[in-house]
Amino acid sequence: MKKKNYSTIANIIIILLIVVTFAGIQFNEFSFYKDSAREQAKNDVILTSVDIKSQITNISTEQRVASQMMANDVFLRRWCNNETTDAYSEHAQQLYDYLNAYKKKYNYDIVFFVSNKTYNYYYDRGLNKVISRSNDFDVWYFNFLKLNQEYDIQIDHDEVNNYSVTLFVNCIVKDFNGKTVGVVGVGKKIDNFESSVRKIIDLFDVDVSIVNIGNAHNSFTGSSGFYKTSKDAADEMGLTESEVLSDVGSEGFVWVDGNKITAVQKNGDLNWNIFVQKDTSDTIQSMLEQTYTRNVFLTIIIVLYILASFMFLHKLKGIDLIAENTDEFTGLYNNKLFKDRYYKRSKRQKKGIKRSMFILDVDNFKTFNDTYGHLYGNTVLKIMADELKDNIGNNGEVCRWGGDEFVGEIFGTEKDALRILEGILEKLKDKDTKMTITFSCGIAAVSSKQSLEENLKKADKALYRSKEKGKNCCTLYTDL
């Protein structure tokens, strides 16, 4: 009876340990993946904002170069010197032909010139109109002149093409004495402009807003696609207008507000702020739902365990065996248990199943102990063990072989194992430790015709090659 009570107590303790351990794992896993999701989102918005900045620059560069070429063209400057009020003269036709040539060459929707002498708005098919300060559609011209800039890139309505929303690049034209004689420019519809960036937006699942922070104001006061007014952008991203219009410099800036991460890059050439925002709420909610599902699953397992445990008390012997052969610092199996389990797996192995063996040493482990003490050295081993367990999971098995040496088996090819272990090396860089934790590793394919010791010997040769290469790397035995 006393022995039975002990077994009952042992079962209760095991159940409690399962609950506590699982709860701890779930909490740590959720925290880890939540932080990872936010960090990934942060990287996504930063990289996307930089990429879009580059994309937008590339898109507008051709238009800017074409406008600047015309602005400095001797023909146009001479034409301005001889301009008359007759917009239908042979002299005026020369300008129309000139503008039309640029339109056809670069496939623009409009190429135009506005004279500062007559205020005539010429374009590739003739005279459009005479601009006026009192006309809302003409304010862009007078505002641009006040900016005292060589060129201006903005989005506005194109009166010539049914008021379509168009990307314009305007350039100041000066005569041979440096006096402003007008503005020349080209325009392309914004739908073409947006399509080249849309792929990037869809790829990273982000929201993008582009805001004018220094170009001339015009008649276009609304938002179109990802080009937005400062108010609309602020409302959509949960920022203030002053933040939207702020000068973030060449390095940009990142806001983190709960589950929303926002990055901004300033395109100095275009005087635009490019905002990229990603909301991780759905991702985190999905993680919570997975946690709830696992908790339900755990409850079912516990109930089944309670029902079955009294029928299989003899299995406690196996549990005791594992407990006796588990490393106290890392929670990993020791080499004795690893060997036993390895040979059992080898007997059950099906043909065609790939397995890989690895050996790794923590680089400069003695420095950790000598500098920060053995307790901290044990912490380093625990971090190393946790990363191995988390990343290998059920796709293999790992043990603490001795000291700072770990041995493991991964179900897959050498390259599969290399991908996992190199991924662990990358993750260790982000750990908040007193010294960066790295390791040297050797990987070899497991041959069923060879013993464990022979397979380990191959991995060990690859490990020494990693050390010869300067540590902090993984080497395949097949590359030796």
The pLDDT of residue 152 is: 87
**pLDDT over threshold 70, residue 264:** yes
**Span 298-310, pLDDT tens digits:** 778 777 777 776 6
Element (H, E) at 105: helix 90-106
What is the pLDDT confidence band of residue 1, given thresholds at 50, 70 and 90?
Answer: very low
pLDDT per position as a tens digit, 10-66? 667 777 777 777 677 767 776 777 777 778 878 888 888 888 777 777 777 888 899
CA distances from 364 to 380, 405, 424 (A): 11, 12, 17
Output DSSP code: residue 216: P
- 5 has a pLDDT exceeding 60: no
Question: Could you tell me whether strands 333-334 and 356-362 are parallel, antiparallel, or unpaired per DSSP bridges?
Answer: unpaired
Structure tokens at 460: 């060990």
**Cα 430–chain centre separation:** 16
273 or 115: which leads in pLDDT = 115
Residue 310 confidence (pLDDT): 65
The answer, yes or no, to whether residue 217 has pLDDT greater than 80, is: no
**pLDDT surpassing 70 at residue 215:** no
Q: What angle do CA 309, 311, 313 make, to 5 degrees?
A: 65
Say whether pLDDT at 181 is over 50.
yes
Q: How far apart are CA 343 and CA 345, in angstroms?
A: 5
Percent of the chain with pLDDT over 90: 44
Mean pLDDT of 459-473: 95
Element (H, E) at 377: helix 374-392
Residue from 117, 99, 118 nearest 109 by CA: 99
335's tokens: 């080499």
Q: Residue 408: which residues within 8 A CB-CB, separation 6 or more?
A: 357, 358, 388, 392, 396, 397, 398, 399
* Predicted local confidence at residue 3, as pLDDT: 46
Note whether 113 and 81 are within 8 A (CB): no
For the segment 367-381, the average pLDDT, to the nearest whole number, is 92
- For residues 414 and 423, the answer to whether their CB atoms sit within 8 Å is no
pLDDT of residue 253: 86
Bridge partners of 255, per DSSP, are 262
- At residue 6, the pLDDT reads 62
* 130 CB-near residues (< 8 Å, 6+ apart): 118, 119, 120, 121
Number of other residues whose CB lies within 10 A of the CB of residue 65: 13
Bridge partner list, 189: 166
Q: State how far the Cα of 20 lies from the Cα of 23, in Å rounded to an integer.
A: 5
Contact 156, 217 (CB under 8 A): no
Query: What would the two tokens of residue 274 be?
Result: 């490019």
- Crossing angle of helices 452-468/335-348, nearest 10°? 120
pLDDT tens digits, 81-130: 999 888 889 999 999 999 999 999 999 999 999 999 999 999 999 999 99
The DSSP output letter for 434 is S
